[in-house]
Every structure is written in C-alpha cells, then in structure tokens.
Amino acid sequence: MVSRDSGDLDLLNPARATDPADRTGFTSTGHLPARGTVSGLLRDAHATYATLDDGTVADYIPSLAAADPSRFGISVCGVDGTSFSIGDAQEAFSIQSISKAFTFALVCEAIGHTTVREAVGVNNTGLPFDSVMALELNGGSPRNPMVNAGALVMITLAPGDSAAAKWQFLQEGMSRFAGHRLLLDVDVYESEAATNHRNRALAALLRSYGHMSYDPLLTTDIYTRQCSLLVSAMDLAVMGATLADGGVNPLTHERVVHPSVCRDTLAVMATSGLYQRSGDWLYEVGLPGKSGVSGGIVTVAPGKGGMATYSPRLDPAGNSIRGQHAIRSLSRSLGLNVFASAPEPAPAPGTQTP
C-alpha cells in the first residue's frame, strides 16, 4: 500500500487550500499483475471480441462515417510507465467526448472542486449526451460535465480572456496528459463545425438560462476543436494512467493536475462517463470510464493504470461495443474492479484482536 499526503501540494493552489474537500490524504493500493500475465490477457480479450460485429459507426458527424468498422485496438499503461498494446492501438482517431474528462480535470485544477460542482453539477442526467430535454427538466443546469451541455459550461470556466487563450489552455493541458502535443484533425473539425447545430442550440439555451458566461458560438467552436484532437488507444491509456497516478504522467513524470482533481474527475467519470449506460458500465466493470462517438473508451484503475480501447462500432447510446466487452473482461481478469473485496482471514482460535 502506498499512502501519499497531499498537504504540501494544497499550498500551491489557493483555490484548493481553502477547500476542506481537498485536504484529505490519498491512498492507492495494489499493482497490475506481472507483465506476461497482462499481455496474455490483452491478447485473449482482443481475439475474443474482434469477431463481434454488433453496432454501427457514428455518422451524424459526416467525417466519422468514414471510419473502418473493423479496427480494434487495446492498450494498457501502468502507473510505472510500462505499457502493453495489441491490434490497432496506434491508429489515430478524434478523441470526441473523451476530451470532456480531461477538460473537466484541467478546469477543476484551475478553479477548484466546489466551484465546478456549483457551476455544472455531478449527477447523471439519465439521458443522451446531447439531450435538450435534460436541460429543460433541470432548470437549465447541465447536471454533469460528461454531457455536451456540461462540457460547454466547463469551457466557459477555462482560464483565458479570449477564445484563443482558452483553446491554448485546453490543447496544452490535454497534450500534457498524453505526454506529447495533440494535433487537430482538421477534416473532423470542419465536418463537425458545419453540422453541429444541436450543440450550438444547447449553448444558446444555456445562455438563456444564465449558465453560459462566455460567447455561445465561440464556446461551441472550442468544444468542437477539443473533440477533434487526434489520439490513439495508446495515448488514451497514458492519459488514463495519469489520472490513475495522482495526476503525474507516468512517461514524462510531469505533474499535470493535483491528486484531488484526479479523485474528482474519476468520480464524475464513474457516475456519468458512459451517459445513460453508466450504471450498466459500473455494475459490469467497476471502474471509472469515458467513451466517445469515434469509438474510443478510456478506463482508469486508480493507483494501478489506464486502459483504452478503439473500435468504432457503437451501441445506441454512443459507446463502443467491443470496447465495453473487452474492458469488462480485462477488469475481471486483471482484478481491477474497485468494488471487489475479499474477506479478511478469520483470526486463529485463541488469538485476540486488539
């Protein structure tokens, strides 16, 4: 067991130093299994689910429709920086909604646990990621940062007086999570920018409810850019491992966010990372995760590492089908479910517990 005291780090950020929720210690337990075991289990999961052809590729963003449905990659990165990959783990695709988890972390780092909760909320909507009804049912509150409305509000809260400054903050921050500069997929960006009427409507509706403090169209444009950043499953595994490692990138050793920000980000991923399927996901996998409509899923085993999959065939909620199966299987075989416990051995007869 590794115990880390966060007290000294709190002093680095006055917004957090005054927040009692961020004054607790941090505990990580356990490790990933041995190298050979992880790579064998990865191979098994890939072979088992590569033949699953259920689901369809997203086509409401025209350029996503061109994705090859047969692609399938899995990558795991431990907090010690060791990584394991199989299949199309280096294939680049647009990060889409997975960006929401990292934008949340970066903005939470900048403005603090309590402010983001008050501005956006941390409860699941139970409705699709682009739901207008969810806003109307909740007095214009996005409810959580893992749906489009919540992600739009998070962008308004990002540091920077101009759209360019906010975008620079987000692109540089996400690149630090990945350990190298993440670039924009210009085709995906232009394709989504030409068709994202619904997101522009969500931003305008948020504005009408007084929840959008920055220009709605500029905010939607930054959101579209962040969704168009190119990543691979290998990148996402490193980004997840950074969240698993108290905010330190295990490859570059750079501190990207504070451990308390990882804790908060993982909490919202656990409750809302797979939209209205988040309950099913947590029940089956027992780990925080975040999916995107291009077919990626990032999963975090706190204190142990990050796992990521890429396969563009989606369920009706917009979550990769092979990805969900593969990660459920790996969570079980690698022993990662955070809710699983084994009973403490009974004391030997005649011994006294203190």
Tokens found for residue 141: 């509150």
Catalytic residue among 97, 191, 291, 331: 97
User: Of residues 10, 22, 88, 130, which one binds ligand GLN by CB under 6 A?
Assistant: 130
Is residue 129 at the binding interface for ligand GLN, with CB under 6 A as the rule? yes
Catalytic residue among 120, 285, 293, 300: 293
CB distance 260 to 6 below 8 Å: yes
Is residue 276 at the binding interface for ligand GLN, with CB under 6 A as the rule? no
Q: Is 293 annotated in the active site?
A: yes
CA distance 88 to 209: 43
The smaller minimum CB distance to ligand GLN, of residues 176 and 225, is found at 225
Tokens found for residue 246: 């108290």
Q: Is 97 annotated in the active site?
A: yes
The smaller minimum CB distance to ligand GLN, of residues 142 and 250, is found at 142
The smaller minimum CB distance to ligand GLN, of residues 141 and 220, is found at 220
Is residue 293 at the binding interface for ligand GLN, with CB under 6 A as the rule? yes
Q: Is 275 annotated in the active site?
A: yes
CA distance 156 to 11: 26
**Within the chain, how many helices (H) and strands (E) appear?**
15, 9
Q: Between the CA of residue 283 and those of 52, 220, 324, what are the distances in Å?
A: 21, 33, 12
In the bound state, the residue with its beta carbon closest to ligand GLN is: 97
User: How many amino acids of this chain bind ligand GLN (CB under 6 A)?
Assistant: 11
Smallest gap from Cβ 6 to ligand GLN, in A, equals: 32
Is residue 185 at the binding interface for ligand GLN, with CB under 6 A as the rule? no
Is residue 199 at the binding interface for ligand GLN, with CB under 6 A as the rule? yes
Q: Is 298 annotated in the active site?
A: no
User: Of residues 88, 109, 192, 264, which one binds ligand GLN by CB under 6 A?
Assistant: 192
CB distance 232 to 91 below 8 Å: yes
Smallest gap from Cβ 95 to ligand GLN, in A, equals: 8
Q: Between the CA of residue 61 and those of 127, 236, 314, what are the distances in Å?
A: 20, 22, 14
User: Of residues 124, 148, 309, 331, which one binds ligand GLN by CB under 6 A?
Assistant: 148
Catalytic residue among 63, 83, 100, 116: 100
Catalytic residue among 131, 223, 228, 285: 223
Is residue 97 at the binding interface for ligand GLN, with CB under 6 A as the rule? yes
The smaller minimum CB distance to ligand GLN, of residues 128 and 140, is found at 128
Smallest gap from Cβ 189 to ligand GLN, in A, equals: 10
Give the Cα-Cα-Cα angle 47, 51, 57 (nearest 5 degrees). 120
Q: Is 294 annotated in the active site?
A: no
Partnered with residue 309 across adjacent β-strands are 74, 297
Q: Which H or E run contains 75?
A: strand 73-78
The smaller minimum CB distance to ligand GLN, of residues 42 and 297, is found at 297
Is residue 268 at the binding interface for ligand GLN, with CB under 6 A as the rule? no
Q: Which H or E run contains 4?
A: strand 2-4
- Written as one string, the DSSP assignment of 246-315 is TTB-TTT--B-S-HHHHHHHHHHHHHHTTGGGHHHHHHHH-S-EEE-TTSEEEEEETTTEEEEEE---B-
Is residue 318 at the binding interface for ligand GLN, with CB under 6 A as the rule? yes
The length of the chain is 354
Quickly count: other Cβ atoms within 10 Å of residue 17's Cβ.
14
Please give the positions annotated as active site.
97, 100, 223, 275, 293
What residue ranges bind ligand GLN (CB under 6 A)? 96-97, 129-130, 148, 192, 199, 227, 292-293, 318
